[in-house]
Structure 1
Amino acid sequence: MAHYPLNHHLRQTYRFLVGLAGLYATLFGAIGLATTWGDEFFHRGSDWVLGLRTNPAAAWLYTIVGVLLLLAVLLGGNVYHQVTLVLGWGLCGLALLVMAFIQTDANVLNVSMINVIVTIILGLVALVGGLYGKVGSS
């Protein structure tokens, strides 16, 4: 069983950073949805939003992940701890998976290398926030 620090003194700072990451993901997804409205779901065009390539599938994915991160930050407690751990690992895994398909026809999320880098950063921010977000009695 893993040992996570309880009631870490920087817990609120990490929560704030995860909130910023969730806000960025939600904003990217929402603007991406507005930009790619009417395109095919897995469109492989040249739509760029906030410095990242996007299509409707990627925009929906980032919107959902961003809203989940924001909800976890608002709920706080051990729900925040669990959700950010899962989403952090999930985002890092997704980034590595889509990196393998960048130059192929399987690039259904229309990503470029900058998307991979930003997704890994968002995943690591969420993961670190989750690692230090556990609360309990001292």
Structure 2
Amino acid sequence: MASHFPINHHLRPLYRLLSAVAGLYMLVFGVVGFVQTSGAPFFTRDETAWALGLRTNPAFAVLSIIAGVVVLGANVIGRNIAHQINQLAGIVLTIVGMGSLAVMQTEANIFAFSMVNVIVTFILAGVVGTASLYDRVGSTTAEEHHHAHA
């Protein structure tokens, strides 16, 4: 499957930037959410806990900080680390969005997700996942070899 990803795509810097912005958003949201919910129970589902337009609790804020640091860090580092992390983050965010959608109105909604959270999670998954399709790097000989077998 990896052979189908373009190598050294000319818009790679733009896709890395977009993915880094998504990671920065996750990080800032997590920090603001953690400050907004300080003192609250870790898995509270209190509907008054909001940060940057999304419902949150300390658990979701901490996970957002971790995800933001990983995605932002990988895209600052670049190389194929960004490609692999973006690909994994796109998949994980899609699964989180689907799972949160499934449990939103139940006691299993431990991260206090609302519909807005699900939509933003899918948007972030789309941005980061799309970036992973075009941010692969390699030598020009690898690129020529790829085109020769395409």
* Global fold match (TM > 0.5): yes
Tell me the residue number matched to 1:38: 39
Q: Deviations over 1:11-40 (max 9, x none)?
A: 000011011101111000000000101111
Distance in 2 between the 1:120 and 1:65 partners?
A: 14
**Over aligned residue pairs, what C-alpha RMSD do you find?**
0.7
Whichever residue aligns with residue 91 of structure 1, its letter is L
Distance in 2 between the 1:42 and 1:14 partners?
A: 34
- Structure showing greater radius of gyration is 2
Q: How many residues align?
A: 138
Distance in 2 between the 1:118 and 1:95 partners?
A: 9
Distance in 2 between the 1:49 and 1:39 partners?
A: 14
1:128, distance to aligned residue in structure 2 (A): 0.8
1:53, distance to aligned residue in structure 2 (A): 0.3
Tell me the residue number matched to 2:143: none
Higher helix share: 2
1:93, distance to aligned residue in structure 2 (A): 0.7
Aligned to 1:68, which of 67, 70, 77? 70
Distance in 1 between the 2:85 and 2:22 partners?
A: 14
Unaligned ranges ≥5, structure 2: 141-150
Q: Deviations over 1:44-72 (max 9, x none)?
A: 11211111000001101111101101110
After TM superposition, where is structure 1 displaced by more than 3 Å over at least 4 residues in a row? Answer: none
Distance in 2 between the 1:7 and 1:44 partners?
A: 44
| 1:20-35 equivalences in 2 (<5 Å) | 20-35=21-36
TM-score after normalising by structure 2? 0.90
